[in-house]
């Protein structure tokens, strides 16, 4: 089969690799019809992880089941399914509590597994023609009858829609709240969308990219253009000097100042400054335990100079981590099916798998107009 293979920093190829196959009786095999490129893929693409050469990338996957293992009960050949990026068992202590992003079974010695990702277990990704799905009865979300018609909406259930929602849950967003979101990439836009769905009063979203801010404005968020580095002042002005009730971090360890220089503690400290005393902060942007590629001495070891004194004095709280996609994907799916949510509004490009190298290059450069790419292996 053809698949997107990581070769080295900024070097991926679409190569012929052995076909994905059923390896355990609890697996199914899915023919992939939509698979997105994610900001998380870019950390690997840029050589800022320890992902090994030869890894098949892709954790935002949707397709049709073409084969089922002997021990699979629920999932049938022909089902249209969307897979959470997390691979989870369903029976460990964390899965039992709904914390499927921290499964203790699927990546032994660690908490949490994923398709095609650095440090998340030996699983191949779905930027390919076929994907092996472990513990398929637990992991597959079977899509409604309009699966094909709304495929570009449903594929967002694999990661970024639930992840954006998770950011708002970690922050504690409730009806009427004011919310500030750092990062208007796909995840930040989905956090803004989720906050709006939850009935937030005012949603502000910070970035320097005008095309991304324009999408945020389309869904009713207030764009905070940080091109001049004034985002903190703008947010304090809009919130009577108090800061927002809730804040979300949707950028991660590679966050930059307005001139484009990496400053790993910038979004975290800006959140402390722009969330009100006793407010909540949700962090879904990825921070790595080790980052040898960082310029900053602390960041090399996954550390940041965090304004903890301010954070404590303001009595703020925060939640962090990978999204437990299964905690939200079924309900968010219902919103799409009912016509109440259409997360595909962020898609800028639908491309065949063969064009993945150009797509990675453009999305990585955050080139104007490249807000989200869906690869279509059948095209
Ligand atoms: N926790 C999870 O489960 C989960 C899931 C998916 C993605 N992620 C992570 O979420 C983050 C965002 O992903 P994405 O797909 O939206 O990627 P992205 O890189 O396309 O978007 C990030 C955006 O943040 C902006 N940005 C950079 N520095 C900033 C700053 N100081 N203030 C405000 N905005 C700033 C960039 O201009 C960019 O538009 C990544 O770290 C990704 O790995 C986490
Ligand atoms: Zn993703
Ligand atoms: Zn588990």
pLDDT of residue 364: 98
Strand partners for 317: 280
Are the C-beta atoms of residues 171 and 247 closer than 8 Å to each other? yes
Name the closest ligand to CA 363: 1
Question: Among 60, 163, 164, 251, which is best to mutate for testing ligand 1, by the most ligand atoms less than 8 A from CB?
Answer: 251
Pocket of ligand 1 (CB under 6 A): 38-40, 42-43, 159-160, 163, 182-188, 206-209, 212, 226, 250-252, 255-256, 266-267, 284-286, 322-323, 366
> How far, in Å, CA of 270 to CA of 264, rounded?
11
- Atom number of ligand 1 nearest to Cα 321: 1
- Residue reference for tokens 């996609």: 325
pLDDT of residue 207: 98
Q: Name all domains of the chain by residue range, CATH numbers in brackets.
A: 2-159+324-376 (3.90.180.10), 160-320 (3.40.50.720)
Answering whether pTM is above 0.95, one says: yes
Distance 69 CA to ligand 3 centre (A): 19
What is the DSSP track for 267-325?
HHHHHHHHEEEEEEEEE-S---S--TT-SSTTGGGT-----HHHHHHTT-EEEESS--G
Nearest CA to ligand 1 atom 24: 183
Name the closest ligand to CA 127: 2
pLDDT tens per residue, the chain (379 residues)? 999 999 999 999 999 999 999 999 999 999 999 999 999 999 999 999 999 999 999 999 999 999 999 999 999 999 999 999 999 999 999 999 999 999 999 999 999 999 999 999 999 999 999 999 999 999 999 999 999 999 999 999 999 999 999 999 999 999 999 999 999 999 999 999 999 999 999 999 999 999 999 999 999 999 999 999 999 999 999 999 999 999 999 999 999 999 999 999 999 999 999 999 999 999 999 999 999 889 889 999 999 999 999 999 999 999 999 999 999 999 999 999 999 999 999 999 999 999 999 999 999 999 999 999 999 999 8
Token pair of 143 as six digits:
């899509």
Question: Among 60, 210, 250, which is best to mutate for testing ligand 1, by the most ligand atoms less than 8 A from CB?
Answer: 250
Distance 160 CA to ligand 2 centre (A): 6
How many other CB atoms are there within 10 angstroms of residue 326's CB atom?
Answer: 20
């Amino acid at each position: 089969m053809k698949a997107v293979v990581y070769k080295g920093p900024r070097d991926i190829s679409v190569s012929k690799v052995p076909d994905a196959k059923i390896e355990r009786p609890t697996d199914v095999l899915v023919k992939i019809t939509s698979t997105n490129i994610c900001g998380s893929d870019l950390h690997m693409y840029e050589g800022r992880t320890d992902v090994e050469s030869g890894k098949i990338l892709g954790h935002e996957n949707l397709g049709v089941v073409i084969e089922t293992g002997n021990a699979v009960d629920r999932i049938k050949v022909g089902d249209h399914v969307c897979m959470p990026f997390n691979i989870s068992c369903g029976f460990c202590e964390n899965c039992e509590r709904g914390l499927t992003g921290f499964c203790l079974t699927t990546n032994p010695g660690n908490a949490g597994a994923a398709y095609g990702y650095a440090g998340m277990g030996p699983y191949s990704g779905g930027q390919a023609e076929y994907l092996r799905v472990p513990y398929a009865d637990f992991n597959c979300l079977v899509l409604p009858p309009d699966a094909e018609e709304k495929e570009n909406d449903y594929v967002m259930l694999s990661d970024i829609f639930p992840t954006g929602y998770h950011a708002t849950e970690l922050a504690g967003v409730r009806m009427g709240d004011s919310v500030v979101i750092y990062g208007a990439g796909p995840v930040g836009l989905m956090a803004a969308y989720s906050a709006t769905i939850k009935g937030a009063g005012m949603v502000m979203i910070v970035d320097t990219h005008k095309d991304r801010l324009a999408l945020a404005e389309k869904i009713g968020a207030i764009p905070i253009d940080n091109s001049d580095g004034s985002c903190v002042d703008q947010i304090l002005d809009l919130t009577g000097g108090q800061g927002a009730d809730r804040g979300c971090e949707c950028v991660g360890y590679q966050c930059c100042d307005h001139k484009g220089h990496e400053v790993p503690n910038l979004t975290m400290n800006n959140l402390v400054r722009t969330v009100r005393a006793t407010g909540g902060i949700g962090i879904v942007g990825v921070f790595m335990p080790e980052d040898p590629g960082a310029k900053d001495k602390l960041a090399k070891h996954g550390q940041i100079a965090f304004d903890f004194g301010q954070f404590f004095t303001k009595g703020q709280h925060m939640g962090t981590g990978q999204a437990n996609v299964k905690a939200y994907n079924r309900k968010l799916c219902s919103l799409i099916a009912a016509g109440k949510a259409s997360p595909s509004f962020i898609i800028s490009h639908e491309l065949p798998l063969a064009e993945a190298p150009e797509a990675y290059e453009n999305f990585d450069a955050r080139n104007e107009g490249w807000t989200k790419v869906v690869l279509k292996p059948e095209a």
